[in-house]
Chain A
Amino acid sequence: MAAPGVTTLTDVDTGRVPPALRGLLPVLIAVPVLALAEVLLGSSPFATYLLSVVGVNIILAVSLNIVNGMTGQFSIGHAGFMAVGAYIAGVTSLELKEVALSFLPVAASDQVLFTVALLAGGTCAALCGFLVGLPSLRLRGDYLAIVTLGFGEIIRVVVQNTEAFGRALGLSGIPQYSSVAMVYFWVFLVVLVARRIAGSSHGRSLWAIREDEVAAEAMGVDTTGYKVRAFVISSFFAGIAGGLFAHFVPIINPGSFTFVKSMEVVVMVVLGGLGSSTGAIVAAIFLTLLPEGLRSLFGALGAEGSLAQKVDQIRMPVYGLLLVVLMLARPQGLFGTKELWDVLPRWLPRKKKGLS
């Protein structure tokens, strides 16, 4: 536990949940909730799509927050890792399309293959993260930003010129295996991982690096090692987000993974508060639903029909404006480094650490 006065979920649970169950409990709660959501949403393709997009953006924001928020590095190429995951998972699924695991029912077999494809995408993205991170994270300062910016562009250009990835036309016909339950299962996983990191000594090292890298080094923190590890974990989940994305949109093309997408994720993290996982979640939900909300609002007004179509185009200026206002009014982001439960009024008394 590193942030001032932060109480982690696990701390609150301590004492009331038997230790053996502590790791398992979130899973036991999550699975039936996700199953229920899947049943309720089965009839509405639009809600399913929207919720999936929100979920993917949450995964991107929470995973980027591990690097940009917790570790204080600045990566602006998250869409590049997402693209790696999307294309690798997409191609894997296309290759395995005709394969079915004979000992399983078709639906279950599909989900197994889907998971294999996702893991392939995530692993490749993590590998890219390692290759990009190792040289650039040995240095301090802005080098990571420059390198990740370049990496994102390189991936896009490579995809655009590779026959196997469908060039600029994109990849279509990827089996639509994804479901709200699957997306939110990964949302749940990334949040779990992020919170576990924050509460561990690993997270403490990341905080130290964020606060003062020289001092962290003097304390005996292997700064390069921790930065690279955080970056690899973050890249892995970006790849997973890409893989999920590839399995619920009809077509993926390089246009989905531009610098604009990377900036979108950065805006989410900054808006939510650098270092706050729940902040990243809230901001991701808000910024994903904002254009949709504006669209239906303008649609309802009727007369402004043409404006409704322009919402997508005015999104970036709105983001820019939002960031400027935020930096002026609340430079630490919505939640700062705190989590949602630190900001809300508290029912449980909290103990502050110290020696008497």
Chain B
Amino acid sequence: MSEPVKVLGERRAFDPLLKVDGIQVRYGAIQALRGVSLTVGKGEMVALIGANGAGKTSTLRAVSGMLKPSAGRITLAGQDITGLKAHQLVPRGMAHAPEGRGIFPNLTVFENLELGAYLRKDTAQVRLDMDKGFSLFPVLRERQRQLAGTLSGGEQQMLAIARALLSKPQLLLLDEPSLGLAPQVTETIFRTLREVNATGVSVLLVEQNAHLALNAAHYGYVLETGEVVMAGPGKALLDSAEIRRAYLGE
């Protein structure tokens, strides 16, 4: 469409799980995405960084079926999923933890988790997975009977992640997990995300905190005004002078 994507460094070999090919998204007359292409490999953690309004959230919402792209193709594990709705994608292994956490404030932590397993019928296995979730975030176990709205911001984010994991996703989509959280809490969350990722769950992560995201991710894409302008392994992007100037304030 326009200038080619600047690719830094070599991407390690991977087996593609999610392929996004030239998707465009419009909000009325405004074009939010002008042909975004990216891939997420099996077991990979991929970060999507960029300034406000670059199209990070729109990309994520298009992938998870909350927005319908006006052009382009999305495939998950080889299957074309373009235009499918969110409720059709959850059973195919896609879980989305939306921006602003999207927990149910008037339900207890436990009930929130139950809703995460909403489409699953294997009740016994759900219990085991809940237990796993509680081991990832021990504070949630203590607070399981508490209303989710009374949790701190960090705990709510943990709940959102634990809940998303309960649908047994192959691919976890996270929108700004660090939003409004203290650096320490953010660190805990990212540490846990890497643990989750190490168990084989692929992660596509949208972040404003470029430093944090690129440090954690295997691979990163930089979005600018609805287009991918740069891509490369997390470390390579972190070392790039351009990125340091534009996103890390150096």
List residues of A whose CB falls within 8 A of some B CB.
Answer: 2-4, 201, 204-205, 207-208, 211-212, 214-223, 337, 352-355
Contact = CB atoms under 8 A, between A and B. Distances in A.
28 contacts: A3-B107, A4-B111, A201-B118, A204-B114, A204-B115, A207-B107, A208-B115, A211-B105, A211-B106, A212-B103, A215-B102, A216-B115, A217-B87, A218-B64, A218-B86, A218-B97, A219-B116, A219-B167, A220-B87, A220-B118, A220-B119, A221-B118, A222-B87, A337-B106, A353-B111, A355-B127, A355-B131, A355-B134
A218 B98 contact: yes
Interface stretch (B7-15, B141-149, B224-232): B141-149
Interface stretch (B24-32, B88-96, B183-191, B209-217): B88-96
B164 interface: yes
Contacts of B163: 219
A24 B89 CA distance: 39
Contacts, number: 85
B145 A212 contact: no
B70 interface: no
Contacts of B167: 219-220
B103 A215 contact: yes
Interface residues of B, number: 37
B86 to A, nearest CB: 5
A208 B104 CA distance: 7
B87 A211 contact: no
Contacts of A223: 87
A212 B119 CA distance: 17
A218 B141 contact: no
Smallest CB-CB A-B distances: 6 pairs? A220-B90, A215-B102, A211-B104, A222-B87, A218-B96, A220-B119
Interface in B100-158: 102-108, 110-111, 114-116, 118-119, 127, 130-131, 134, 141, 144-145, 147
B179 interface: no
Q: Which of B105, B111, B145 has most chain A Cβ within 10 Å?
A: B111
Given A217-B87, A218-B64, 20 more contacts: A2-B107, A2-B111, A4-B111, A204-B115, A204-B118, A208-B118, A211-B106, A212-B102, A212-B105, A214-B102, A215-B104, A218-B86, A218-B95, A218-B102, A219-B115, A219-B163, A220-B119, A222-B87, A354-B145, A355-B141
